Amino acid sequence: MVEARERASSEEEFKDENFIERPAILDKYKAAAQVTNAALQKALSLCVVGADIYTVCQETDKFMEEELRKVFNNKKSKKLERGIAFPTCISVNHVMGHYSPMQDESTQLADGDVAKIDLGCHLDGFVAQAAHTVVVLGDASAKVTGRRAETVLAAYHAFRAAQRLIKEQGTNTKVTQTIARVANEFGVNPVEGVLSHKMKKHLIDGNDVIINKETPEQKVEEFEFAPGDVIGLDVYVSSGEGKPKEGDYRTTVYKRELDTQYNLKIKSSRAFFAEVSKKYPTLPFSIRSFEDSTGAKVGVKECVSHDLLTGYPVLVEKSGEFVAQFKCTIAVLPKSTIVLAGELPIPVERFETEKKVNDVELISILESDLWKKDDKKKAAKKEQEEQKQ
């Protein structure tokens, strides 16, 4: 417990610093992002017809852990904490998210499945998250049509538009409004209750947020983006109403509640919680990663009942609908915005639908580059040269 208190003290000291005050922070984000991007590609390569979701999740998590050992591995930095920051989840069709099944409860991918891959890792507590939607097709030349195509394209274009609005003096309100406008072009709905958080060291759910869809009951405070911000931008779109409910699946993804203490009664629960505290002290994990799955199932039950852990339940839309998700880790630098992890294009030529973005303002946003601050000196010099000519 002394070690945990020392860790907490250290986090308090540095958690409010950003990469402008301490440039090495950005290097750690970039290193984690490199692994996250590679892991996302790995998972995509494994998502084929007939693939077992448990196996894909396990192999992708193992890949992240192995690749993390290869970065920042000199004598000075190899002792830095590193590991999974969000376990691989593969949620299919109407299942919205957090599906990371145990081996005996897993399912297989089928032709036509709309699969959302969500994962993340960290280096020294600096997290890079990403999510991508892929339509699993047995025929390499097959096209994606109908509501599948409309849902995925809407989410992808809303995601890209949102990226371009995260800039100095831009607002979370504008991002939320734009997501809704893009979804409307395709006749689909942004999913309610989804938040994109500003991130800090060992913190993926900061207080400043972008809400995916605003409703009379669900609103957030407006804030302006500023240099130094790192945001986990998470965009969800549904062919249905976009109202999540808890599905009939086991919750396997959890996060430690640091403010709660309790002396567990069951021996296997104590062993499980000791491993959680050692390997996943602040960030989400999946109980499928534990060798003793029975002990994990027993342990998690007692831990949750005494508020030591918070679960990420598997959320679903109405059966028969489709949900698409795209997530990236994006940073606002002093003179530009960069996508650190999750900048992966989709093969738009494989998606066929009569619906598209027609709104002139939205088209202008989508055709623009990520934000880059105008260099007034260069602009003035260019203007002078043009006048001379």
Q: Which string of b and e fits 317-342 if b means at least 16 CB within 10 Å?
A: beeebbbbbbbbbbbbbeeebbbbbb
3-state secondary structure labels for all residues of 292-317: CHHHHHHHHHHHHHCCCEEEECCEEC
What's the pLDDT band for 3 if we cut at 50, 70, 90?
very low
pLDDT given at position 39: 98
Range in 74-83, 159-168, 265-274, 350-359 with the lowest mean pLDDT:
74-83
| Homologous superfamily (CATH) for 23-251+315-379 | Creatinase/methionine aminopeptidase superfamily (3.90.230.10)
At residue 389, what is the residue type?
Q
Q: Taking residues 187-191, report their average pLDDT.
A: 98
Q: Taking residues 300-329, report their average pLDDT.
A: 97
Q: Residue 278 has which token pair?
A: 């050692």
Please name which of 60, 212, 233, 252 lies closest in space to residue 131, comparing C-alpha atoms: 233
| Model confidence at 170: pLDDT above 60 | yes
The residue with tokens 């196996």 is 55
Please name which of 234, 223, 206, 228 lies closest in space to residue 169, comparing C-alpha atoms: 223
Domain positions in the chain: 23-251+315-379, 252-312
Q: Could you say which of 1.10.357.10, 1.10.10.10, 3.40.190.100, 3.40.50.300 is the CATH number of the domain covering 252-312?
A: 1.10.10.10
Q: Residue 8 has which token pair?
A: 């907490």
What's the pLDDT band for 387 if we cut at 50, 70, 90?
low
Determine how many CB atoms are found less than 10 A away from the CB of residue 374: 8
pLDDT given at position 8: 41
Q: Are strands 253-256 and 285-286 parallel, antiparallel or unpaired?
A: antiparallel
**Sequence-ordered list of residues with C-beta below 8 angstroms from that of 15, at least 6 positions apart, any chain:** 200, 201, 202, 203
Q: Taking residues 56-70, report their average pLDDT.
A: 97
Q: Taking residues 88-108, report their average pLDDT.
A: 97
| Model confidence at 9: pLDDT above 50 | no
Cα 149 from chain centroid (whole Å) = 22
The yes-or-no answer to whether 23-251+315-379 and 252-312 have a common fold is: no
pLDDT given at position 379: 56
| Model confidence at 124: pLDDT above 80 | yes
Q: How far apart are the C-alpha atoms of 358 and 37, rounded to whole Å?
A: 31
Share of the chain above pLDDT 70, in %: 92
Q: How far apart are the C-alpha atoms of 373 and 227, rounded to whole Å?
A: 11
Share of the chain above pLDDT 90, in %: 84
Q: Give the predicted TM-score (pTM) of the model.
A: 0.91
Q: How far apart are the C-alpha atoms of 236 and 307, rounded to whole Å?
A: 29
Q: How far apart are the C-alpha atoms of 82 and 205, rounded to whole Å?
A: 18
**Cα 11-13-18 angle, rounded to 5 deg:** 85
Contact 166, 191 (CB under 8 A): no
**Sequence-ordered list of residues with C-beta below 8 angstroms from that of 350, at least 6 positions apart, any chain:** 135, 142, 143, 144
* HSE-up (13 A, CA, CB side) for residue 2: 0
Q: Residue 11 has which token pair?
A: 């986090």
Q: How far apart are the C-alpha atoms of 237 and 177, rounded to whole Å?
A: 14
Contact 44, 136 (CB under 8 A): no
